[in-house]
Amino acid sequence: MTDNRSPESTAKHAGISGNPPTAGAIPGIVGIGLLGCGNVGGALVELLETEGEDISARTGISPNVRLIGVKNSAKPRPKAVRAEVLTENLMSVIEDARVDVVIELMGGVEPAGTLILEALRRGKPVVTANKELMATRGAELSRAAEQAGVDLLYEAAVGGAIPIIRPLRESLAGERMERLMGIVNGTTNFMLTCMSDDALTYSEALVAAQESGLAEADPSADVDGHDAAAKVAILASIAFGGEVGVERVYREGISQLSPVDIAYARRLGFEVKLLAVAERTHSDDAGVVDIAVRVHPAMVPRSHPLALVRGAFNAVFIEGGAVGELMLYGRGAGGRPTAGAVLGDLIDAVRNLRSGSCGTSGTSSPIRIRPMDDLCSQYYLSMEVLDRPGVLAAVAEVFGRHSVSIRVMEQVGLADEARLVFLTHVAREADVQATMAELDCLEVVERMGGMLRVVSAGEATEEGGWRT
Amino acid sequence: MTDNRSPESTAKHAGISGNPPTAGAIPGIVGIGLLGCGNVGGALVELLETEGEDISARTGISPNVRLIGVKNSAKPRPKAVRAEVLTENLMSVIEDARVDVVIELMGGVEPAGTLILEALRRGKPVVTANKELMATRGAELSRAAEQAGVDLLYEAAVGGAIPIIRPLRESLAGERMERLMGIVNGTTNFMLTCMSDDALTYSEALVAAQESGLAEADPSADVDGHDAAAKVAILASIAFGGEVGVERVYREGISQLSPVDIAYARRLGFEVKLLAVAERTHSDDAGVVDIAVRVHPAMVPRSHPLALVRGAFNAVFIEGGAVGELMLYGRGAGGRPTAGAVLGDLIDAVRNLRSGSCGTSGTSSPIRIRPMDDLCSQYYLSMEVLDRPGVLAAVAEVFGRHSVSIRVMEQVGLADEARLVFLTHVAREADVQATMAELDCLEVVERMGGMLRVVSAGEATEEGGWRT
């Protein structure tokens, strides 16, 4: 907020004592130190400028941006960003005595991590939208916040504007979480919507996403599932109360998907979505939480609420023991929606700072992550085969030998070639992978097509593995 | 929780000093006093019994049910409800020194209101699912909680298991809310889904709902929109930061809906839903928040996320200035889902009790509620007319005289009678009502059919009124 009429805060800070500093001595005024001023940062400063009075009337809190740390202070910025608050000395933003709360919107693991730790050490609450950092060093940072007795809030790191972190931490704190499935990357969901509606190829859909400003020139973070993997690592850590690093998330992207497979999926009554899944699995050890965490394209039944999430929207579908099925839906990205989520965290942090409390993250449990090979799911498989007698028998024999039972088979002829499409009963991932490897070597199989895991509405867990 | 091995809490209470009592002296144990033990109360006790150890492991909190106040202690209860904790002396539940937190699940305005006030006065946080009470005396009770410095939490009062109150109060605290539209009554949504899918009449759908255990023998609270009106009063109070009593909510139920109108709506690309709407309207006075609050059946475009909410599910669709469009979806009723929401509040209340803080409700603004006559919306109108020349001209003349502009007209003949169906451009409610009254007197009009307001995706506000 750039309301120059507001008198400056004269807050005294508790330094490194770990006690929260008192908020601005003039009631209402809160000094903000911002790290990073790109898309989201610029939108936040504009939001505080245009809505400042309204925010103050609604919440009794007047955020006042004291300093903005940026890499290049000469770069053009939105009008609301006053040149005099810009600095290239990032640590000075943390150190400034007029800064009560630090908002980190630079992204990347470093120097963001070091700056946040220093802010927490000085008893300053931190709001961040940094999914990469939280997915790799979230546990360490959360412990530092707890030790300092101040908030580290990161609602904007997952699902943009959608309230998802706070409901998981608070509303569902007592809930036995069973499964969480999210469409948490808007770029790939936009591309899949194009591929489904307009039969675009992957490459055409990527160009469409780039032209819409949704995909980067190097789209790898989105299309290879890195972004979704970071987000599901964060969600899984909260939902199952343990430490789930992003490196433990199984990950497949969407670049291998063909419009043919998407069209088949539709004909069978499914939409193809890039799903981020974290679910509780069968466990023999008391006290250990067994989960599976993965990102991959999946076939979602058209009757499932997630199938209806289109374009750049995001949604997280939650299955809990008591609350049953919940879905939280909204804009997963964009400067203004994400800035809205940051603002919500900021107000929460200031309220807690004033009351001398901070959000608790609950207890931490030992988490064991099941290998992907153990997954039990239905599968969609397609392949191009020679159009000659005996082919189906040869193919079916491979399925049978690996205990993969076929539920639906369709054969579609194209000149002297044919495409076979299979939907299996629930099978084990390792068996399906072995089936595919062997089929690929079969003389009658010209080329293996797509493989998609199929989301069920929640059937009984198969022994030794888990459902999807 | 009925874990008899747990040592009793020896908490000392701060009496009426307004200071929060310390939670159970044995770390983790929290004494619960429950008022009411019906569907939700029974499910909560069972949940605490079966999940008690898990809840304790996840949150560090072990809720221990000390006393349950009921009207009739001789009534059969679920097995988890131990007879020795039942009492017909409701006030004794509040007064008991072993009770740290009071959970009110009796429903009704009195004696629930008096009991809650007394609990707050004694510095005991209260969790309630009582929508009727919160919709009529919410402001008074919230002030009492604030004065006592303890929590009054009521997530379960609206939308059952769906986290909606907390996101509105916290995640969206800084947000300029524009509109909130909810499907907040599962019984009527179930009935409308039946009427739409299976062409049932209203009466047939009601029987189906009663047979499914969704509708009461006297269904008025649901079908006449009283339940939805109470819920939207609560949501509007939070979203717009002021006092919105249920008596100020405009209300129409679903009993006048015919399957014919629902079928027409579908053909035109809409689903008919009982919507609870609270929206910001044009205001000339700075500092005064002008809103409209209403419950009525409405036509929702099939592409809108709310159109896809089927059966007994609930959803609240939120439009905010920064976050854009959000939807929160889930099970709106049922013992176990509602008990899940109560449990989330309970854990929040205990955490706050321990840290000596409580949730703040933000500042309160003067709220002005616009009269229904000022609503600007598109309308669907149907009527049976004589099948003779000149009828359309006579009908169209009435529309024109009241400045109601027709966008689509369809005529369907049935023997010597015909049905006219109109979709208007945006018109003013008062003008449409006047048009309908006059049409009803027209000799060529045999019978007026249904009238439905049409939800737009958010067009420009009409001067002097507001869009819907």
A284 phi and psi, to 5 degrees? -95, -25
- Residue B59: its chain A contacts at CB < 8 A? 173-174, 362-363
A vs B, Cβ pairs < 8 A, gives: 203
CA-to-CA distance for B205 and B246, rounded, in angstroms? 27
Could you tell me the pLDDT band of residue B282, with boundaries at 50, 70 and 90?
A: confident
| Domains contained in chain A, CATH given | 15-160+335-355 (3.40.50.720), 165-331 (3.30.360.10), 372-454 (3.30.70.260)
Q: In the prediction, which pLDDT does B361 show?
A: 60
Contact A322 B331 (CB under 8 A): no
Average pLDDT estimate for B378-389: 91
Q: pLDDT tens digits for B97-124? A: 999 999 999 999 999 999 999 999 999 9
Residue A123 CA neighbour count, 13 Å, CB half: 18
Whether B11 has a pLDDT exceeding 70, the answer reads no
Highest mean pLDDT (candidates A116-120, B320-324, B387-391, B461-465): A116-120
CA-to-CA distance for A42 and B32, rounded, in angstroms? 47
Contact B327 A327 (CB under 8 A): yes
Identify which of A174, A321, A357 has the shortest CB distance to residue B347. A174
Average pLDDT estimate for B337-348: 94
Helix H or strand E encompassing A265: helix A259-267
Alpha helices in A110-258 (DSSP H): 112-121, 131-148, 165-166, 186-198, 202-211, 220-223, 226-239
State the catalytic residue, choosing from A12, A75, A131, A231. Answer: A231
Q: In the prediction, which pLDDT does B359 show?
A: 67
Identify which of B51, B170, B305 has the shortest CB distance to residue A321. B51
Q: Which of B170, B336, B357 to mutate to test the interface with A (most CBs of A within 10 A)?
A: B170
Whether B163 has a pLDDT exceeding 70, the answer reads yes
CA-to-CA distance for B287 and A16, rounded, in angstroms? 41
- Residue B60: its chain A contacts at CB < 8 A? 362-363
Distances (CA, A) of B247 to B276, B278, B372: 14, 14, 14
B127 with B342: CB under 8 angstroms? yes
Contact B330 A330 (CB under 8 A): no
Kindly report the number of other CB atoms within 10 A of residue A156's CB atom.
29
Distances (CA, A) of A81 to A50, A78, A334, B126, B353: 12, 6, 18, 44, 41
Contact B167 A166 (CB under 8 A): yes
Surface of A (289-318) touching B: CB under 8 A: 305, 308
Q: In the prediction, which pLDDT does B24 show?
A: 40
Surface of A (335-394) touching B: CB under 8 A: 336-337, 339-341, 343-344, 346-348, 351-352, 355-358, 360, 362-363, 365
Kindly report the number of other CB atoms within 10 A of residue B221's CB atom.
18
B417 phi and psi, to 5 degrees? -110, 160
Compare B446 and A7 and report the one with higher pLDDT.
B446
Q: In the prediction, which pLDDT does A458 show?
A: 45
Antiparallel, parallel or unpaired: β B289-301 and B250-251: parallel
Compare B57 and B270 and report the one with higher pLDDT.
B270
Q: In the prediction, which pLDDT does B274 show?
A: 98
- Residue B337: its chain A contacts at CB < 8 A? 322-324
Q: In the prediction, which pLDDT does B465 show?
A: 35
Kindly report whether the peptide bond that precedes residue A371 is cis, defined as omega within 30 degrees of 0: no
Q: In the prediction, which pLDDT does A282 show?
A: 75
Per-residue pLDDT of chain A (468 residues; tens, 9 = 90+): 333 333 333 333 333 233 344 444 445 899 999 999 999 999 999 999 998 888 888 888 899 999 999 999 999 999 999 999 999 999 999 999 999 999 999 999 999 999 999 999 999 999 999 999 999 999 999 999 999 999 999 999 999 999 999 999 888 988 999 999 999 999 999 999 999 999 999 999 999 999 998 988 899 999 999 999 999 999 999 999 888 999 999 999 999 999 889 998 998 899 999 999 999 997 767 778 899 999 999 999 998 999 999 999 999 999 999 999 999 999 988 899 999 999 999 998 998 888 777 766 666 788 999 999 999 999 999 999 988 888 999 999 999 999 999 999 988 766 666 889 999 999 999 999 999 999 999 999 999 998 999 998 643 333 333 334
Contact B343 A355 (CB under 8 A): no
Distances (CA, A) of B98 to B12, B65, B73: 8, 10, 20
Helix (H, G, I), strand (E, B) or coil at A449: strand
Predicted ipTM > 0.90: no
A337 with B324: CB under 8 angstroms? yes
Q: Which of A56, A153, A171, A240 to mutate to test the interface with B (most CBs of B within 10 A)?
A: A171
Surface of A (324-343) touching B: CB under 8 A: 324-331, 334, 336-337, 339-341, 343
Q: In the prediction, which pLDDT does B387 show?
A: 83
Compare B141 and B4 and report the one with higher pLDDT.
B141
Identify which of B166, B287, B357 has the shortest CB distance to residue A170. B166
Name the percent of chain B in helix, strand, coil, to the closest 5. 35, 25, 35
Q: With both helix axes pointing from N to C terminus, report the angle between A112-121 and A131-148 in degrees, rounded to the nearest 10.
A: 20
DSSP H helix total and E strand total for chain A: 13, 18
Kindly report whether the peptide bond that precedes residue B111 is cis, defined as omega within 30 degrees of 0: yes
Token pair belonging to A214: 């949704």
The DSSP-derived string for A73-133 is TTS---TTS-GGGEES-HHHHHH-TT--EEEE-S-SSTTHHHHHHHHHHTT--EEE--HHH
Contact B356 A360 (CB under 8 A): no
